[in-house]
Amino acid sequence: LAKTTQPISMDSYEGQEVNITCSHNNIATNDYITWYQQFPSQGPRFIIQGYKTKVTNEVASLFIPADRKSSTLSLPRVSLSDTAVYYCLVAVNKLIFGAGTRLAVHP
């Protein structure tokens, strides 16, 4: 399974764009890149998934370079309610979570 590396924590302010980068150097050809969000005392929630280039939905954008060895989750104009832990997963089989990135959004 591809190992992922993310920053442990990040801080931002309301209204800013936040970019969280995940490294996955040994990603396999058929692996997708998936991001989850977890609020305190809740289970994780699927945010976005991609294979290459750029994917956008109503919550976030996911940028994946051609070599696919990293990916960047972009949250536009964050609010206090975006304070959560964000997990990057890389696996076709088995949903293995790493430690995630703890994002704190300040007023």
Residues that bind other proteins (CB under 8 A): 32, 34, 41-46, 49, 85, 87, 89, 91-100
Cα distances from 103 to residues 3, 18, 55, 99, in angstroms, run: 21, 9, 21, 12
Of 77 and 95, the one with the shorter C-beta distance to other proteins is: 95
Strand order in the sheet with 33-38: 9-13, 101-106, 84-90, 33-38, 45-50
| Nearest-approach distance from CB 28 to other proteins, in angstroms | 13
Of 13 and 46, the one with the shorter C-beta distance to other proteins is: 46
Which amino acid is residue 85, in one-letter code? V
How many whole angstroms separate alpha carbon 32 and alpha carbon 104? 27
How many whole angstroms separate alpha carbon 47 and alpha carbon 37? 6
| Nearest-approach distance from CB 37 to other proteins, in angstroms | 11
Of 92 and 104, the one with the shorter C-beta distance to other proteins is: 92
Of 80 and 99, the one with the shorter C-beta distance to other proteins is: 99
